Structure 1
Amino acid sequence: MFEIRRATPSDAQIAFEIRLQAIRHQCIGAYTEEQMLAWTAGVAKDGYDILMDKHFYLGCIDGEPVATGMLGLESREIGAIFVLPGFMQRGIGLKILNHLEGLARDLGLEEVNLDATLNATEFYRRCGYIGDELATYHSPSGLQLACVPMLKRLL
């Protein structure tokens, strides 16, 4: 059974691991190996654990986390949607995205935005997001990656 639950500080390492595996599996070809290794370097305690205090969620199958996603209220930004490779192509990412959009609506947000990775832009377009211009994402660690800023009106 699939369920979505709010992450807790003790979930930081598993969320970080889901992110690492998803990036290294899904972003091949969209980014160089060097970029992917730099993007996934470090450990959860390098700052990823701080995200657990925000609207960060885990998608779980039979209680086991297999996906992540978060909503940044101040920035109206959806992010950190990652699915373990063995669970991709089952609609889990879409369920996480729908959950976050529903939460944003419930909190009164009229629109949300995100920085889509190059491999995920078509997924987000199919979900109603608009955006075509390439930009550069600047991670907190200083890494720079090509992305596509996208927007979706919710109301």
Structure 2
Amino acid sequence: MRLANSNDIPALQQLIALSVRGLSKGYYTDAQIESAIKYIFGVDTQLVKDGTYYLTEKDGVITGCGGWSKRNTLYGGDQHKAVEDPLLDPSKDAARIRAFFVHPGYARQGIGRKLINTCEDAAQANGFSTMELGATLPGVPLYEALGYTAVERIDAPLPDGEVLGIVRMRKELSVKW
């Protein structure tokens, strides 16, 4: 695992599309999947600039990516927002778990768990005691297994008329001694 850098962005965009197409079947329609790749899912370069976006590799293949954010956006890549996010206040706001995607050929091998643990530790080291995320439907079981609870269902309308179901989830971090 390592921090992503700007040179990784094209490969990460490919991984994200591969992940969504491979792991979202049965949760979303093909039209929802393609619309979400176009309008929501992608790299948020602010996370890369902030040094809070990680990737995992095995034998030269990027197997997963994900990060945490000290900014307001709950989900979505660069194409989903127009301006830089305002910073969150760790004393009252929850840090965000953002843009988690795993290569379908490496799913269910602990990559997501490893990335989440790294992000939670980093957010906690930066003063946050609560995490929040916008989960895709295929991601909900992983996040539940890691102690996140559903707060609300969001039906995100997309510009082409499709609607993507997302679940806002939250977790209080344990105090580490």
TM over 0.5: yes
**Counterparts of residues 24-103 of structure 1 (less than 5 Å):** 24-41=21-38, 48=43, 50-51=45-46, 52-54=48-50, 55-75=52-72, 76-103=95-122
Deviation at 1:139, TM superposition (A): 7.2
- For 1:151, the equivalent position in structure 2 comes to 170
| 3-state SS of 1:90 partner | coil
- For 1:131, the equivalent position in structure 2 comes to 150
- Once the two structures are superposed, residues 5-64 of structure 1 have per-residue CA deviations (whole angstroms, 9 ceiling, x without a partner) of 11110100111111111100111121110111122238x9xx736242231111122454
- For 1:9, the equivalent position in structure 2 comes to 6
Gaps of 5+ in 1: none
Gaps of 5+ in 2: 73-94
Amino acid at match of 1:150: M
Cα distance change of structure 1 residues 104 and 82 upon mapping to structure 2, 3 Å threshold: same
Q: Does structure 2 retain, via aligned residues, the 8 Å contact 1:115–1:137? A: no
Q: Distance in 1 between matches of 2:28 and 2:113?
A: 23
Paired residue total: 149
Cα distance change of structure 1 residues 140 and 71 upon mapping to structure 2, 3 Å threshold: farther
| 3-state SS of 2:152 partner | coil
**Is 1:22 aligned to residue 19 of structure 2?**
yes
Q: Distance in 2 between matches of 1:77 and 1:144?
A: 22
Cα distance change of structure 1 residues 65 and 140 upon mapping to structure 2, 3 Å threshold: farther
Which of 111, 114, 127 is 1:108 aligned to? Answer: 127
Cα distance change of structure 1 residues 142 and 92 upon mapping to structure 2, 3 Å threshold: farther
- Once the two structures are superposed, residues 58-88 of structure 1 have per-residue CA deviations (whole angstroms, 9 ceiling, x without a partner) of 1122454211001111231101111111111
| 3-state SS of 2:150 partner | coil
Q: TM-score, normalised by structure 2?
A: 0.75
Q: TM-score, normalised by structure 1?
A: 0.84
Overall identity of the aligned pairs, in %: 30
Q: Distance in 1 between matches of 2:118 and 2:163?
A: 28
Amino acid at match of 1:61: K
